[in-house]
Structure 1
Amino acid sequence: MESANNNNNDDETFPTGQLKWRKVAYGGMQPGFDDNHTDESFLEEMVMNANVVKRDMLKVMLDSVSITQYLSIVTLVLLVWSYTLESAISDSFLLLLDIILLGLGFLVLLLTTRMLSLAYILKISFFITGLYILSPIYHTLTRSISSDSIWALTAFLIILHLFLHDYSGSTIQAPGVGEHHHPTFMSNISLNASIVASLLIASRLPSRLHVFAIVLFSLQVFLFAPLVTYCIKKYSFRLHLSLSLALMVATSMLVFRLHGLLFVFFLSSIVLITVVCPYWLIRIQEYKFEINGPWDEAKLCFNITE
């Protein structure tokens, strides 16, 4: 025991320059070195900006088209709500619009995915039937609430829907449409906000048929439109750009006819999302600084051959 202790004491008295430092995991002590000692080789494994993605301005602008496209779609829904509340759109016109949108949606899915099953059509039929049966309940849902509260709550829900919506389309689930992913918590909140907003607007309409038609129209857009636009984008990106441009132009014209100030706000939003924000993202990319090295937490890699 004494000889062992003497050997340890002799090792600790060695000069630092005569010992070779080695990295010991989890704070192992080495004789002659401090516990926080590092030598010249410590920074040799340092990597700067290894995971930083260099973005192209045009690519970011093209990616932002999906956001402006959906913003145009939601704006069109708000225009239909406004004209319906002002009795400028009849219930028969709304029903015709519902039929046209439903037919176009099925046609797009059939042409782009070629896997539109009968079970999918039956589910939508049951959904429409249940919506028609429940329309009298929706008609009297908010009778005891003032209209000002309804407008304020609806505006808040639509803004919440736009902020939390999944613009990448990663949570789209349909037969034959890309990979299936479970919807995120945020996307579920966004969808529920749009549905509640639709029911609040429908409860202020004069007849039950109006309620059924406007709720069906709203749910077709909020539930069905993201799937249709996602299929078009996967099928042809040029077609996706053309459709987005047509929607933005049509929406701008309709908003301009409704109110000039709203047109300026809508056009400013389009420019902000498509031009200003991508430029801002590219500029702040220069200040991105990330370092990696041996001090990072170890990542376990499992190589399973069978």
Structure 2
Amino acid sequence: MVMNANVVKRDLLKVMVDSVSISQYLCIVALVVSTWTLTLNLVIDEATLLKFDVGLLLVGFLVLLLTTCPFSVQLLSKYVLNISFFISGLYVLAPIYHTLTRSISSDSIWALAVSLLLVHLFLHDYSGSTIRPPGALNNPKLTSNISLNASIVASVLVASRLPSRLHVFAIMLLSLQVFLFAPLIIFCIKKNHFRLYLLFSFLLMVVTLGVTYQLHRMFFILLLVLLVFISVVCPYWLIRIQEYKFEINGPWDEAKLCFDITE
């Protein structure tokens, strides 16, 4: 009999660094919700939102090209073609999204949107991206696809309450860029430049806290408590409960294959 043969001794700093991906994505969702709120209150107009969409798209496209190795003209043309189809289809569907929930009360829309965002956060794949990265061997998980669909439906519900079709197109383009492409861009940065990934995450948290502080104090306090809980309390809690880990191994355990059964 062997006791605690597979128990991994964790380091507090490493666990805190691993928790950055959760805190970072929570800040991204908080920024999207803040943008939704400011747009619904007509603080941000459609022209400003479209400029921000274009800038965000160019930055993400550039990062994806720089982190993709080897780079090829065929890959570049594929990205440009896919993004062109994506934006064109979204622009054509904007009038439908604008009138989609006209017969539904606003209270129902907000309650459903919040519920879908919570589902999105709980099922999101924080270790990868829903879009398959270049050169990846594994396909995205089913839960990550459900999470993505929940975020898209929430975006459609919020966009349907905007005053014009151009507003709808701009906010949907922003939401889909963030929920669909941002995890892929962040995954590529993390894979190729881990220090840059940590710096980006820290700046993102600072910016998000600043935006939420200006938007609503209660929202700011809730986000700050969540970030501290996820980044500090949970890693410390995980390290503390490791001493209570108790596992026994012996000849009664099932045999484990030491080779790939598909070969």
TM-score (norm 2): 0.94
- Map 1:36-47 onto structure 2 (within 5 A): 46-47=1-2
> Which of 68, 76, 91 lines up with 1:117 in the alignment?
76
Q: Per-residue CA shift, 1:58-115, capped at 9, x if unaligned?
A: 0000000111111111110001000000011111111101100000001111222243
**Structure 2, gaps ≥5 residues long:** none
> Which of 165, 172, 192 lines up with 1:215 in the alignment?
172
- Map 1:1-306 onto structure 2 (within 5 A): 46-114=1-69, 115=71, 116-169=75-128, 172-176=131-135, 179-301=136-258
Higher relative contact order (CA 8 A, sep 6+): 2
* Amino acid in the other structure paired with 2:28: I
Please give the secondary structure, in 1, of the residue aligned with 2:127. coil
Correspondence for 1:33: none
Q: Per-residue CA shift, 1:131-156, capped at 9, x if unaligned?
A: 10111111111011000000000001
TM-score (norm 1): 0.81
Cα distance in 2 for partners of 1:185, 1:293 equals: 35
Deviation >6 Å, runs of 4+: none
**Structure 1, gaps ≥5 residues long:** 1-45
- What's the CA shift for 1:298? 3.0
> What do you get for the CA RMSD once the two structures are aligned?
1.6
Which protein is bigger by CA-based radius of gyration?
A: 1
- What's the CA shift for 1:236? 1.1
Aligned in 2, Cα 1:288/1:192: closer, same or farther, shift over 3 Å? same
Q: Per-residue CA shift, 1:199-236, capped at 9, x if unaligned?
A: 00000001111111100100000011001111111111
* Amino acid in the other structure paired with 2:59: L
Aligned in 2, Cα 1:170/1:228: closer, same or farther, shift over 3 Å? closer
Please give the secondary structure, in 2, of the residue aligned with 1:117. helix
CA contact (8 A) 2:129 2:183 kept: no
CA contact (8 A) 1:160 1:193 kept: yes
CA contact (8 A) 2:19 2:231 kept: yes
1 or 2, which has the higher helix percentage?
Answer: 2
Cα distance in 1 for partners of 2:57, 2:257 equals: 49
Aligned in 2, Cα 1:271/1:163: closer, same or farther, shift over 3 Å? same
Aligned in 2, Cα 1:134/1:298: closer, same or farther, shift over 3 Å? same
